[in-house]
Amino acid sequence: MKKFFALLMFASIANVAAAADVVANAKAAKVEMCIGCHGIPGYKATFPEVYSVPMIGGQSAKYIENALNAYKKGERKHPSMRGIAASMSDQEIADAAAYYSQQTAQTAKK
C-alpha cells in the first residue's frame, strides 16, 4: 500500500495538473481494487485457479478500455475480471484506463 501511495505522489508531482485529475478520477473509479492483483510484479491470482495476472500499467488507454468492455460484455471470460468490469460504469472504465495508461514510467523500472 505504501508503494502505491508513493506512485500516486510521483504521478502528481512529475506530471502537470492534468495528471493529478487523472489520479483523482481513478481513485473514484476504484483503482485501489485493481492494485491487489495488478500492482504486484509476477503476482498470480489463486482464484479460481492459479493464474498469471497481466501487467496493465503502461498499456494504451484504448487497449485497457477495450479489454474491460470485453469482460463486461462477456466476450472475455475470466470470472474475476468479469465481475469487476460488470460493476464499473463506462466513466469508471475510462478513468481507470487513463490512469493505467499513464503508469509507463513506473512500470518500466520494474
* Cβ pair 83, 77 in contact under 8 A: no
Instruction: Measure the N-to-C terminal CA separation of the chain; round to a whole number of Å.
Output: 17
Task: Select 76 or 107, whichever has its Cβ closest to ligand HEC.
Answer: 76
Task: Select 20 or 78, whichever has its Cβ closest to ligand HEC.
Answer: 78
In the block, cell 496493465 appears at 56
Binding residues vs ligand HEC (CB under 6 A): 30, 33-34, 36-38, 45, 51, 53-54, 56, 64, 67-68, 76, 78, 80-81, 84, 96
Residue 13 in grid coordinates: 508531482
Give min distance, CB of 104 to ligand HEC, in A.
Answer: 15
Residue 11 in grid coordinates: 504521478
